[in-house]
Structures are given as structure tokens and as C-alpha cells.
Amino acid sequence: MKSFKKILQIALVSVLVIITLLAVIGSVINKSKLENIKEQDENIVFFGDSITEGYNVKEFYDEFRVVNSGISGNTTEDLINRIDRDLYNYNPSTVIIQIGTNDIRASIKDEDIIKNLKNIIKGIRKNRKNASILIESIYPINREMDEEYWKDVNPDYNNKHITKLNKEIKELCKKEHIKYIDIYSKLLDDNKNLKEVYSKEGLHLTDLGYYKVTKIIKEYLK
């Protein structure tokens, strides 16, 4: 009788062990499936300043899963400081970066801007290694559009400076094997300024301006 009870106890323990193992295996499989789904999801994050913030990406990219992570006044350093919360948190499959205009406006050195962009790229590759990275050129401006808006703005914030920095950004993208999106040249008028129909005051874009930008970016998302 005692022998039978012992056998029964052993059998019950064995069943419990098997059930536990199956539960653990099932949990691992389910977690793996969830991770695979996350990796496969197309999740495009637009990361930038007020030009991104004002971009109604959900309307212009309604066929994609998109996130607008733009904040007015941001510089390249600001993006670094909030990259965990406002980029990695969305588990992007594609990151589209638009930044730099506020850096020039704040007289931040070009070499520091490029250094910050390198750190952003490095961070994305480390924390979201499967994400594609696209960097837009800095957009042109038009200081002739709104005299009141531009009267106290840093005079070094001009299209000549923007063009020079865009060349450095393009070179960085080439070295890092990242897609560089030339928005700058597509928004110019005959005087090499931001075309008035594309802008509100010579910096921020109108819906027509965003429509033009969307057509360019979508070519890179195909």
C-alpha cells in the first residue's frame, strides 16, 4: 500500500513537472511570436522639430502606420535627449529624421551638428538594429517673405549656410550607408529661396509644401 502511494506521488510530481515545462515552452514560443510580429510591423516614425510637428503624417501617409515625433524648437541635441521616449519607444521599422534648422538659428557649430547626427545614428543602430534610417536635408528658407518674423533672426541663418551644412549631412549619410533625401532643391523658387506657395512665413510649410515633401519621401518608401 505504501509502495502504491509512493508511486502515485512520483507520478503526480512528474505530471506537475511536465505541465510546468509545457507552460514555460509555450510562454517562450508566444513571446518569440510577439517579437517576430513587432519586427515585421511597418512602423514609420518622423523624428524632428516644428516642421515635423506641423506635418499631418497620418493624413499624408494613410496607407502606412506612422508616428509624428516632432517637437517645435528642437535641435539635434534635443533629439538625443528624448530619443528613448520619443523614438525607441515606438519600435520603428523606419526612421525619417528632419533636423538642423534650429541648430543653425542658435549658432551651433556645424561640426557639433554632424557629431550629434552621428550619435543619433549610432543610437538607433544599437537600440533598433533592424530599423531603416533616412535623413532629410535641411529645408530652404525665405527671409524676404515676412519682415517682422525675420528681423531679429540670426543673419547667419541663411540658405548659403544651409546648403553648406546639407553637403556635410549628405556626406555623412554616404559614409554611414544611409539614405539622404534631398528636399532642399525641390522647394526652391527661381531666386533660390523657399518658394512662397510652399511656406507660411518663409520657414514653416503650407499644406501644399507638405504635399510636395510627401511626394518626394514616398519615393524612398517604395
Whether 126 contacts 83, CB under 8 Å: no
Q: Supply the pTM of this predicted model.
A: 0.81
Q: What are phi and psi of 45, to 5 degrees?
A: -110, 125
Which pLDDT score is estimated for 222?
Answer: 83
Choice among 28-32, 47-51, 151-155 with the minimum mean pLDDT: 28-32
**Residues 79, 133: one domain?**
yes
Total number of domains constituting the chain: 2
* pLDDT single digits (tens) 106-155: 999 999 999 999 999 999 999 999 999 999 999 999 999 999 999 999 99
Going from the C-alpha of 158 to that of each of 39, 102, 148, the distances in angstroms are 41, 12, 16
* pLDDT single digits (tens) 2-19: 455 555 555 555 545 455
Element holding 69 (H helix, E strand): strand 66-70
**Residues 115, 147: one domain?**
yes
**Residues 137, 214: one domain?**
yes
Tell me which residue range forms the domain holding 31. Answer: 1-40
